[in-house]
Structure 1
């Protein structure tokens, strides 16, 4: 069968694009005026989500070259690939960091030379943190393999598990958050959120050996603190119980409002833990529970009953 012939349309401007373009320009102008943004022509003001997605993909390959790198990579060329990939990724990240720093400090109008020096120093510090990030990710991969009887190898875990994919992004995003570019960190986190359905704020502090099983619907808030060897299942929320308001009526920012989860805790599917509560070491939170109070170490909470330190609740 031959190709379907194109449907003929009138070549005139059937969509009145001139009017649409003009109205969009006016909408942008109103937005910029309302927020004190410059109206004069200039370059991009904000980091690019697409560029950061490319950077994170390159960083994944550099962190795990023989499994997440190019399909034709040979082990004898591993270091050459890692060096070249990091050179490209870190230079691209440097440009995105510079945009983020300009945006953060736009009201102070900082010196451009100083901003560039800050961007370079920040990315250099991030680069030196990559071996530690790789070590943390190795512990996450092992935790996933050991915590899931369906896992046949650590390689399967790294290649297939959305929880591990989300943690690669989180370990990168958290370090960028700590180094002082929270917007870039948030973009990196939201890329993983869109790909996996796992929402981890880059400010959350997560210890070694963290395993998210299945993963879809997991939410971990900005000020959550998670210890070592913690395991959570799908649809778990570590969230805030309430949102204090400042005198001006705006929500207060940066307050410690999310849970502290100590070492060796297991939280099963659908559980919701809210507020600055502490889940004690070795505790188990059953599925679909709503927890808004501290849980003692070693406790086992279920819908039917709660048992703390061996005593029936």
Structure 2
């Protein structure tokens, strides 16, 4: 039989009997029921409870096209119809996002009295506020694109940067995700961030605060934690980690959430490939952190940190002021 021919209904029934699918489906239902009972969730009939990753991927694609229509929009778009395309695409994106926001807000309120009308009003407010920020988001992204073009001698144009650079794709997603995070829909924001993480290998938590003219060169393996604060004109290379050194534990033994635990990177800092910077420390303005450096203490403005300098400091051969440039 040709391998491309469809399987007959008879063959499908034989396969189902062979795999005992009825028992497998029943077993999966039992596991789900145990999970829902343990989590205090009901088994009431209804629609989807959580935002959809697939739906948000569509929304983000539309938003990217609306933000950069002639570069990330459709291939046949012409400038004379640019505004029409942006309006049509934004309308579709915002309506799609509205439903996902409504789902998250209902999810957040699931343990209380859920007022559907109040949730819809709140979701509409979130989308309205998000929409008003889009021009500012595009202006901010323009500074990121320019920073990438100016910071990479291999870049031949700003158009190449937008079309090809994974760091820019990740930053576009982050600018969108951070707006949503700030508007009170962190699950949606996290999904948007993870779409970029999956595509680029760059993991930026939507809670991270990042200034203008931000450039991630090459990018794969970059990790930026939730409470990281990054200033203006900062440049990172691949495999840089801005992470937590330790995780505060509450009286009940569980991790405390939301505590500042990631680095503060001031303006005009460059962090080279493979550097790991951990804890709520400050990297002073204008500093340069060399490749593969492991850093867990603050450094003053203008510092130049290298592996050799750290090794000398550990051996007591450096002077007390750390690595002035």
Same fold, judged at TM 0.5 (above): yes
Distance in 2 between residues matched to 1:92 and 1:258, nearest whole Å: 33
| Contact in 1 for aligned 2:137/2:176 (Cα 8 Å) | yes
SS of the aligned residue for 1:14 comes to: helix
Q: Which residue of 1 aligns with 2:324?
A: 309
Report the Cα offset of residue 274 of structure 1. Answer: 0.2
What per-residue deviation string (whole Å, max 9, x for no partner) do you get for residues 168-210 of structure 1?
0000000000000000000000000000000000000000000
Pick from 41, 48, 67: which aligns with 1:63?
67
Q: Which residue of 2 aligns with 1:257?
A: 261
Matched residue count: 309
Q: Which residue of 2 aligns with 1:112?
A: 116
Give the 3 Å change call, closer, same or farther, for CA 34–10 of structure 1 in structure 2: closer
| Contact in 1 for aligned 2:177/2:192 (Cα 8 Å) | yes
Distance in 1 between residues matched to 2:268 and 2:98, nearest whole Å: 37
SS of the aligned residue for 1:238 comes to: strand
- The answer on 1:125 being equivalent to 2:129 is yes
SS of the aligned residue for 1:304 comes to: helix
- The answer on 1:299 being equivalent to 2:303 is yes
Distance in 2 between residues matched to 1:3 and 1:73, nearest whole Å: 42
Q: Which residue of 1 aligns with 2:242?
A: 238
What per-residue deviation string (whole Å, max 9, x for no partner) do you get for residues 115-160 of structure 1?
0000000000000000011011000000000000000000000000
- The answer on 1:281 being equivalent to 2:285 is yes
Q: Which moves more between the two structures, 155-164 or 35-44?
A: 35-44
Report the Cα offset of residue 305 of structure 1. Answer: 2.0
- The answer on 1:154 being equivalent to 2:154 is no
Pairing 1:161-310 to 2, within 5 Å after superposition: 161-305=165-309, 308-310=323-325
- The answer on 1:94 being equivalent to 2:94 is no
* Unmatched runs of 5 consecutive residues or more in structure 2: 311-321
Q: Which residue of 2 aligns with 1:48?
A: 52
Distance in 2 between residues matched to 1:293 and 1:230, nearest whole Å: 19
- The answer on 1:75 being equivalent to 2:79 is yes
